[in-house]
Every structure is written in C-alpha cells, then in structure tokens.
Structure 1
Amino acid sequence: MIRTGHVITNPSSKTTITVLETDVETKGMGFYLEYHMPVGARPDVAEHLHMTWTETFEIISGECKYRLDGKKRNAKAGDVVVLPPTQKHIHPWNNGQTELVMRQRSQFDKPSPQAVQDTLGVFSTIADLGPNQLNANGQPKNALLSFAILRTLGKHGGYDGRIPIRTQKILNATVGLLAELIGVRAVSKKYR
C-alpha cells in the first residue's frame, strides 16, 4: 500500500511527486501530493475528467499552463487552480524558466480508500516502466496495460477526455477485462 512519503518519479518528464497524505489521513476522501516539475516538463497525465472528484492545485513556485474545458490558461506562484468534476482538463505543466512546485489535493464526494490506492498505484506502476516502455507522452506503449489502466480508473469515475465515456465503458468491460484475465495489472503487486 502507498503511504505518506512515497515518491513517484515519471521517467519521461522527470517530474517528482511526493505523497503528502493518503487514504489513512483523509479517511478515504482523497489524497494530497507535492510536485516538483523541471523546466520544459510536459504533463504526466493526458486530458481526462472525474465524475465526482475535484482536483485543486496550489502553485507554490514557478509558472504553468493548464487546460480546462478545451481552453489553455496560465497560473503562477500564489494562484490556485480548481478542476471541478465532469470537466475535461489537463493538470498544470511547467512553462516557466524555473522549476514548478505545486500541491494537488484530490477531494472525493464520498470515502473511497480503494480509489486513492488505485490512482496512486497506477501513477507508481507507470513510473516503474523503463523509458523504452513509454511513448513520447509518457504513457505505456503496451496497449493491454493501457486498457487495464483505463478499466481501473473507470471503476472510480475517471475517464480519458479524448474518448467518449460510453466507448470507454465498453472497452473497459471487454478489452480491459481481457487484459486483467490474462494477468495484466494496472497496479503492480508492490503497490497493492
């Protein structure tokens, strides 16, 4: 299980994420992370949405861009970025000349310790992949792993913003299930 102090480093962007609070501290109502994103780092997560979660990013230092409902926006140290449920978004990424430091609070509408562990477990599992196992956007090249990830996040109301949700539900129930049945796991054993 992932606990406070766990560090995730994305091999593609070199962004470091430190877990400040998990389901234990938040009683399953979300998680709290701190990002250190180097100059030029791209977003680690593609456009997505959550059906019931609110994600809030406090910009500690640096400058960034983020995307909300198809519009790019800017933020800087001292700003707070709120990404509400059901709205497509891309997390802030560094577009400044210094390291971007920010804190993310993911707030759920109801307790879900499993959503906390699964989400952080997916991030950690992707970070454990070697650079030759990731595409240019830092996502797994293995299609079955990608479907297993979509299925796992879909269980908690998280969806890829580029694919219709109905289509994802069908893929999650078929290809994602097949991936799991043959042993492909979105969250590696060491994070369960």
Structure 2
Amino acid sequence: MDWFRLKHTICLCMQSTGFKRADYIRKKKLFRHVGDHCMFMFRKLPLYGDLISIGNNVFFASNVSLVTHDVTHKMLNCYDPDLKLTEYIGCIDIGDNVFVGAKTTILYNSRIPSNTIIGANSFVNKKLMDGGVYAGSPVRYICSMEEFLNKRKKYTLQVKRKKSQLSEATIDEAWKQFNALKEKNSGE
C-alpha cells in the first residue's frame, strides 16, 4: 500500500461514523463521485478510487471490498516470459438507494442499479440489470424491492438503545421473537 492510500485509510479509521467516512471520501475526492446521504462502514481505501462512482443514499455495511483491478498479469508474465500483459482495471458504478451487506466483494466492471439491496457475503462480478434484492456468490436475483419491503413491514420490534447498546427490554423481546420463530419453523 502506498503512502497516499495508507494516509487516507488511517484517516478513514479515525472517522467516528460511517456517515463521516463517506463525507471524508467525498471532500477529499477519493472516488469519482459520492452522492449525498451515504454511509461507508469499510475503513480501507480501495485502489483506483477514481474508477468508483457512488449515488445518493448508498449504505455499505462492514468489510465491503471494492476491487477495481486484478494483478494476474504479473503471474501470467512470469508464466510465459514472452507475454507483456498489463494490469486489468475496470469501473464500479453504484446507483441511488442501494444497501450493500457485510463482507460483500464488488469487482471491476460491475454496476449495481438504483433501488437495490445486496445481501451479506455476496460476490458481485457483473452488471445487474434491474433493481431488487440480490445475494450469493456469484450474486443472483432474490426478489423485488416491493416484495422485500412488504416482508420487512411485518417486522415490528421497536429497538431501544442505551448509547450504543440495546436496552434490556429490546434484548428480551428479540429473544422472545427468535424463539417463537424457531418453534414455528420446527413445526413445519
């Protein structure tokens, strides 16, 4: 990692919230574009940030990797000394109203359209055609945003916090709902 990336990665680690990390990346112009109301939980600055464009209202969970290049050319050039291959690079374009789950990897030449949710631990290696919910490795379509929203509206637990911790009442209710779901699923 060069000094530029190391310096900005350290600065990202020092930002106290994901919103402040997104603001830092926007203010320092570390990506081609970062829209408004974004949250970046990742702390490592990807290589070639100028190849990354992020829309408005985009949320990245922890440990998301944005990969704009590969270095297979180095191995291939040693494999066959007659080759003179160069580094492969590509762009990443993410639309508006997107959530990217924890530990997801997004490769070069990928596009995530507006109004999309990417599930945790997914692998995005292509242009997704329509918004909706995607997950898996490689990523695949799961359902529409409307279907997901209707399912999510049924979740009614009111989360109460004490600073960054959940209240005892919220913890007890979460376990109560979990156990009820476990019993329901074991009866099916």
So what's the TM-score if we normalise by structure 2? 0.25
Higher Rg: 2
Answer 1 or 2: which has greater strand percent.
1
Which structure carries more relative contact order (alpha carbon 8 Å, separation 6+)?
A: 1
